[in-house]
């Protein structure tokens, strides 16, 4: 049974609802939370709470549109009264099988939509690709518009979430120390499947079309452990770290790294359609 309370936006790699719930249950009394990889904001929405500040990062514009345009917004602002077209990034660089009307409508929302509109359009775009994989287009403009309108209605439920949100559009690794301290850090990193992560491989077009200015950073397997070490240097009391089977480097290697930096409080696994998701709860060694 799908959990009706989980924020759904159509995004490759959003946490499984059971994992999101695991995460929310371990926030405890944390008042300051760092989320270096916001993604679709599903975990952020689940961890939000009164008197709590969530500081998040993501290189994708879509994540900013979700956090600032939905979670932190008081009302659903929209500029879209019907399907409009303009020539922008997707018109010039369409996704495989994308027609000019779909490209032109997405480009128009990228140029004239509010953050709320762009969050709703991002989700409609993902859902209009074959199996939601962002590799080839699979919709006509009426279907795209209908998905946009449905998202515009359903996201109202996630407006004005409790607490404070401070989001940064950009790479977490570009920030300069000193940084923190935070009570909790939630890490759900990109995973390297074949050669690279799915975001730098498939999400660049949407990112540009919606107004993003960053090239999405490529994650090759060699970059993964050094980046995780970097993350583990942040001044935090506790960390919730999520990983998955079938990727490179594999989970045992990542677990070994985590053990060097913290005391393992809990480790859980979730199996789902032939893959296993791992969740690790770490406490800083000296506390």
Ligand X SMILES: C[S@@+](CC[C@H](N)C(=O)[O-])C[C@H]1O[C@@H](n2cnc3c(N)ncnc32)[C@H](O)[C@@H]1O
Instruction: Enumerate binding residues for ligand X (CB under 6 A).
Output: 11, 13-15, 36-37, 39-40, 42-43, 57-60, 63, 171-173, 188-190, 199, 216-217
Q: Which residue is at the shortest CB distance from ligand X?
A: 39
Q: Are 255 and 200 in contact (CB under 8 A)?
A: no
* Residue 235, number of CB atoms within 10 A of its CB: 13
* Alpha carbon distance 4, 137 (integer Å): 27
* Alpha carbon distance 114, 78 (integer Å): 6
Q: Which CB, 35 or 109, lies closer to ligand X?
A: 35
* Alpha carbon distance 241, 227 (integer Å): 13
Q: Which CB, 80 or 186, lies closer to ligand X?
A: 186
- The residues, any chain, with a CB within 8 Å of residue 171's CB and separated by 6 or more, are 57, 59, 214, 217
CB of 113 to ligand X, least distance (A): 20
Q: Which CB, 34 or 80, lies closer to ligand X?
A: 34
CB of 124 to ligand X, least distance (A): 16
CB of 191 to ligand X, least distance (A): 7
Q: Is the dihedral of CA 62, 68, 74, 77 positive or negative?
A: negative
Q: Which CB, 117 or 188, lies closer to ligand X?
A: 188
CB of 287 to ligand X, least distance (A): 25
């Amino acid at each position: 049974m799908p959990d009706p309370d989980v924020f759904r936006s159509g995004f490759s790699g959003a946490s499984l609802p059971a994992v999101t719930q695991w995460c929310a249950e371990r926030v405890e009394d944390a008042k300051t939370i760092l989320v270096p990889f916001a993604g679709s904001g599903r975990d952020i929405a689940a961890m939000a709470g009164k008197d709590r500040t969530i500081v998040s990062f993501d290189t994708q514009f879509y994540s900013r549109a979700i956090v600032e345009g939905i979670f932190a917004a008081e009302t659903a602002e929209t500029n879209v009264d019907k399907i409009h077209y303009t020539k922008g990034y997707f018109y010039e660089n369409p996704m495989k099988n994308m027609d000019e009307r779909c490209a032109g409508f997405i480009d128009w929302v990228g140029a004239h939509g509010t953050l709320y509109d762009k969050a709703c359009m991002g989700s409609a775009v993902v859902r209009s690709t074959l199996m939601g994989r962002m590799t080839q287009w699979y919709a006509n403009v009426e279907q795209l518009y209908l998905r946009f309108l449905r998202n515009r209605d359903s996201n109202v439920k996630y407006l004005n979430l409790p607490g404070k949100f401070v989001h940064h559009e950009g790479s977490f690794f570009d920030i300069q120390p000193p940084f923190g301290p935070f009570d909790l850090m939630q890490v759900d990193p990109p995973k390297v499947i074949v050669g690279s992560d799915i975001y730098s491989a498939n999400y660049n077009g949407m990112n540009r079309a919606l107004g993003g200015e960053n090239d999405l950073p490529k994650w090759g397997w060699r970059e993964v452990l050094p980046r995780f070490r970097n993350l583990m240097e942040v001044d935090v009391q506790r960390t919730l770290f999520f990983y998955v089977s079938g990727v490179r480097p594999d989970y045992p290697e990542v677990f070994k790294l985590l053990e060097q930096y913290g005391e393992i409080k809990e480790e859980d696994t979730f199996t789902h359609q032939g893959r296993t998701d791992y969740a690790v709860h770490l406490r800083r060694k000296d506390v």
